[in-house]
Amino acid sequence: MTSSRSELIATALRRGLRKRCPHCGEGRLFSGWSFLHSCPVCGLVYARNPGDTWAFTIFGDRLPLGAMIAIIYFGVVRSHPALGVSMLVALAALAIWTTPNRWGVGIALHYLSRVYWPDPADPVPPPRATGSSS
Ligand SMILES: [Zn+2]
C-alpha cells in the first residue's frame, strides 16, 4: 500500500515537472505561456478555484527561492559584490526559465491532495486503464 502510494506521488510529480496532466500524463498543462483550465485528454480540472494551487506554489516555490536569495545576498554579495550579483542574476534566469515546470509541480501537489482527501464537489476523473502509455 505504501509503495503504490509513493509511486503515485512520484508519478504525479514527474508528470507535473514535464508539464503534463498529473492524472493521465498525456494532456498538457500549458498552451504556450497560458495555463489550461482542464486536461484535454482525461478532463481533469487542474484548479477548480484560481487560488487552489497558491499554497503549494508558495511553500514549494517562493519560500525556497526566497531562502536562496537571502543566502546569496548575505553570504556572497556583502563580501564579493560582483560574484554575488552574477549569482542573483543566474538564479533569476533559472527561476524564470523553470517557472512552467515549477507550476506543474504545484498542480501535481494540488492533484495529490485531491486524491488523498477527496471532495465530492471536486471529482477527480476515474483512473485510466493500465497498459496504456504513461
Ligand atoms: Zn489528463
Distance 90 CA to ligand 1 centre (A): 34
Mapping DSSP onto H, E and C, the string for 56-117 reads HHHHHHHHHHHHHHHHHHHHHHCCCHHHHHHHHHHHHHHHHHCHHHHHHHHHHHHHHHHHHC
How far, in Å, CA of 41 to CA of 38, rounded? 9
> Letter for the amino acid at 18?
R
Helix or strand (DSSP H, E) at 14: helix 2-17
Distance 48 CA to ligand 1 centre (A): 15
Cell numbers standing for residue 55: 499554497
Of residues 129 and 78, the one with the higher pLDDT is 78
Q: pTM of the full predicted structure?
A: 0.76
Distance 61 CA to ligand 1 centre (A): 23
How far, in Å, CA of 46 to CA of 58, rounded? 17
Distance 13 CA to ligand 1 centre (A): 14
**Highest averaged pLDDT of the listed ranges 3-7, 92-96, 123-127, 128-132:** 92-96
- pLDDT given for residue 2 in this prediction: 63
